[in-house]
Structure 1
Amino acid sequence: MLESNFHFPKQTAFYKGKVRDVYTIEDKLMVMVVSDRISAFDVVLPRPIPYKGQVLNQVAAIMLDATKDIAPNWVKSVPLPNVTIGLKCETYPVEMVVRGNLTGHAWRTYKSGLRELCGVALPEGLKENDFFPTPIITPTTKAHEGHDEDISREQIIATGLVSEKEYAQLEKLTLALFNRGKELAAKQGLILVDTKYEFGKVGDTIYVIDEIHTPDSSRYFYADGFEANQAAGKPQKQLSKEFVREWLMENGFQGKEGQTVPEMSDEFVHSVSERYIELFEKITGRKFEKQQVSALDAEKQIVSQLQELL
């Protein structure tokens, strides 16, 4: 599914993100349709990836359910493979990025010679992919368009984006969720390397919103062979959508002005779909079951569920 085109009773707003179509109902509930669109380098690629939406939605549902004892989350119902209905929350304008290893953006910063990221001091003597002594939080602003921007704890509080009291709560929840995520990953023979969490609130209650621990929002390493690869200075085998970015770079695209997205062949699209299904099974330990629902049946089921919830 490239995009949805629903019109629900009592619908008050609609927002189309890079991957998700979000419908607001009575300013109380949100219907999040996770499409098969795929983005990289802040660009939506021209062809959808079959079952990608189902993979992301179902991984998120499983992970949110597995962490609800740490923090309440926005989910009220998952009526369809790629649809979640939940609370409409007042969202915090920052994403809580948490890193357990010196990888990706953190490594590029470190490699450049800098020893600070988002106001967090980085220790000397680390190699790419090494564990940090303790996980670090490197927040970003939330951009609807373009790139999210790094920001420090001090800047967030000083500019009033989040109060000091609430930010301390977000930090505590972020580290607790990351710790649980690492435990869940370890059971699957994986290392949760880095991820991001988004939060919102209704009244004074803070909720985990959006998705967590999915291959689009997280990076995983295989635990088997990790230490040997580090000792030998070899790359780590990872589980994320990084392979899509690598394919784009190999074909001359990094989202820069003047660059054109390379043509996505049927074979490539199929390979990406199969890779996402593999990611689902590795991360959750469950067998993936391909499901298809017509748009008409989907709308009927969502409307029925909304009536019940309202």
Structure 2
Amino acid sequence: MNLAQSVLAVNDDLPIKTNLPVHSGKVRSVYWLKAEDSQRLIAEKNYDVEPNTPLAIMVISDRISAFDCVWHGEGGLQGVPGKGAALNAISNHWFSLFKQHGLADSHILDIPHPFVWIVQKAKPVMIEAIARQYITGSMWRSYEKGEREFCGITLPEGLSKDQKLPEKLITPSTKGILKGIPNVPEADDANIANKDIIDNFDAFNFKSKEDVSLYQRLLLEGFDLISTELAKIDQTFVDTKFEFGYVKNSAGTDKLIYMDEVGTPDSSRIWDTAEYNNGNIVENSKEGFRQMLLNHFPDPDILLNKNRMPEREALAKNNALPAEALMDVSRTYRNIAEKITGRTIQLSENPKEEIINILKSDFDLIK
């Protein structure tokens, strides 16, 4: 198999029926369906949404982003083989378990292909919902510099790197740049205190103050469920980011749901428990890739300093990483996905062709 060909790097050029521009993020591309196709699928597939709900095809890629840049490798490797399928498989697994345990639904209505979700339009809550069980990463870097207050929470003195925190913390940040909210910096990923969310719940797109408590409960219960399941396969759930939004069901009732992805190596830190107990950190998440980048380049400040974004973007564009570094990520992602789901992650020889064929034959969505 040609590894470069098995990678789905460009995912915004599929001939899917749409009359809107394709929205392409760092990893996923979103194709909003024409109204007549959305309505047809809702009727044909009996999706539990309002008949006029806009639907979209969400296609994941194998691109890898870190430090707000997309990276590539030698030999024409424009992504990580198996990464997209692994991420979707893990999210699908957790979303299904959340539903089984009565937590909340997700935005996903159908899974036609390992790279593809059919989703309903949601109104996003403008919060990156973050929960932490250990002090590491950005929190540790700030703590080491003397910071003790995070999102209105004061941490005790004397904590060590990678130590388990005295209690699980919710440390939300802004999703996008929000303007005119007291005490909330007008910046993406800015830390915010729970009191400021409650006092300005509508500015964050919450329907009520009670829903702020609901999001916290869904975050912590989702975290605990994943943590319990990972413990069964000797993995430690360190920290994670969830996203939430509102949708309407077929009766027109608003409901708060999980959206984007959950419990994946892209959105969470997962450590090997046996290694941690022996004093070693073995990452089963993107953190290992981030550390590789920090070690690979002579001036890691470029990757950590937001004021050096132009230099960072040039670094990512002009430097092909060793192919083995991307294959390390491939093994990490596929191994943890297979442990979590109990299923093999198959590398596709031509994912784009497969996606087009299934969306044409089963959904009549190809031009």
The correspondence of residues 5-20 of structure 1 with structure 2, limited to 5 A, is 5-20=13-28
The CA deviation at 1:307 is: 5.7
| Counterpart Cα distance in 2 of 1:165 and 1:217 | 26
Partner of 2:32: 24
Output the amino acid matched with 2:264.
T
Output the amino acid matched with 1:168.
S
Partner of 1:232: none
Output the amino acid matched with 2:79.
P
Output the amino acid matched with 1:51.
G
Output the amino acid matched with 1:3.
V
Output the amino acid matched with 1:181.
I
Alignment equivalent of 1:149, drawn from 190, 197, 204 = 190
The CA deviation at 1:132 is: 1.9
CA contact (8 A) 1:90 1:201 kept: yes
CA contact (8 A) 2:18 2:31 kept: no
Partner of 2:39: none
| Counterpart Cα distance in 2 of 1:151 and 1:7 | 41
Alignment equivalent of 1:3, drawn from 1, 4, 10 = 10
Q: Secondary structure at the match of 1:143?
A: coil
With CA pairs under 8 Å and 6+ residues apart, which has the higher RCO, 1 or 2? 2
Q: Unaligned regions of 5+ residues in structure 2, if any?
A: 1-7, 36-52, 73-77, 178-186, 249-253
The CA deviation at 1:226 is: 2.9
Partner of 1:246: 291
| Counterpart Cα distance in 1 of 2:145 and 2:268 | 23
Matched, 1:34 2:60: yes
Partner of 1:216: 266
TM-score (norm. length: structure 2) = 0.76
The CA deviation at 1:293 is: 4.3
CA contact (8 A) 2:85 2:115 kept: yes
Change in Cα spacing, 1:286 to 1:166, as seen in structure 2 (3 Å) is same
| Counterpart Cα distance in 2 of 1:164 and 1:74 | 22
| Counterpart Cα distance in 1 of 2:354 and 2:242 | 32
Q: Secondary structure at the match of 1:45?
A: strand
| Counterpart Cα distance in 2 of 1:271 and 1:109 | 29
Residue by residue over 1:281-304, the C-alpha shift from the partner in whole angstroms, topping out at 9 and shown as x without a partner, is 244343322234453441242255
Matched, 1:190 2:235: yes
Change in Cα spacing, 1:143 to 1:44, as seen in structure 2 (3 Å) is farther
Is the deviation greater in 268-277 or in 170-179? 268-277
Q: Unaligned regions of 5+ residues in structure 1, if any?
A: 230-234
CA contact (8 A) 1:42 1:147 kept: no
RMSD, matched Cα: 2.3
CA contact (8 A) 1:53 1:82 kept: yes
CA contact (8 A) 1:216 1:241 kept: yes
Alignment equivalent of 1:258, drawn from 308, 311, 328 = 311
Q: Which has the larger radius of gyration?
A: 2
Alignment equivalent of 2:155, drawn from 122, 127, 141 = 122
Output the amino acid matched with 2:348.
Q
The CA deviation at 1:156 is: 2.5
The CA deviation at 1:88 is: 1.4
CA contact (8 A) 1:51 1:290 kept: yes
Partner of 1:110: 143
| Counterpart Cα distance in 1 of 2:363 and 2:255 | 22
Alignment equivalent of 1:173, drawn from 208, 218, 224 = 218
| Counterpart Cα distance in 1 of 2:110 and 2:176 | 27
Partner of 2:327: 270
The CA deviation at 1:306 is: 4.4
Residue by residue over 1:234-288, the C-alpha shift from the partner in whole angstroms, topping out at 9 and shown as x without a partner, is x422211112112211222543342423322333333332232223224434332
Identity among equivalent pairs (%): 32
Partner of 1:65: 96
Q: Secondary structure at the match of 2:212?
A: helix
Q: Secondary structure at the match of 1:224?
A: helix
Residue by residue over 1:82-114, the C-alpha shift from the partner in whole angstroms, topping out at 9 and shown as x without a partner, is 111122111111110000111112212222222
Partner of 2:4: none
Matched, 1:97 2:130: yes
Residue by residue over 1:98-157, the C-alpha shift from the partner in whole angstroms, topping out at 9 and shown as x without a partner, is 00111112212222222211112223332222222221111111138x952222222223
Is the deviation greater in 3-12 or in 98-107? 3-12
